[in-house]
Amino acid sequence: GCWCCRRLLRAQPEVLLEQRFYAHRTRPSLLIMEYEASWEGGPDSVVVSFDLPKIDPASFKDFAAKVSTQQMHVGSLRHTILTWTGTTLGAEHGADCVEVSVVALAPAVTQI
């Protein structure tokens, strides 16, 4: 399955952003988020900025988490990578605790 959401980013020209969130085909514990923009007329490209939520690891009562950042160079561009990792403090009956990792560009600004 796939979760999809379409949003109007700009009215003139009309720019639509579609977000898709799904499990990887061969690694189902890896979740993929894709964005696709579409518009007719107007500029050849549009700059889009994605604000990342502030995550306070201490705010979770049932989850131990930490947030870290690191710099990564891709060609001539420098990116800041945000990594959020954690483990549930309790497990469901008959199961182990769950480990979670999220990696994102921060701040996430791209030209589409």
pLDDT above 70 (res 112): no
Place 15 in a pLDDT band, splitting at 50, 70 and 90.
confident
Question: Taking the model in full, what pTM does it have?
Answer: 0.48
Q: What would the pLDDT profile of 30-72 be if each residue is shown by its tens digit? A: 778 788 888 877 777 767 666 666 666 677 778 888 888 888 8
The stretch 92-104 carries a mean pLDDT of 80
pLDDT above 80 (res 28): no
**DSSP label of 93:** T
pLDDT above 80 (res 10): no
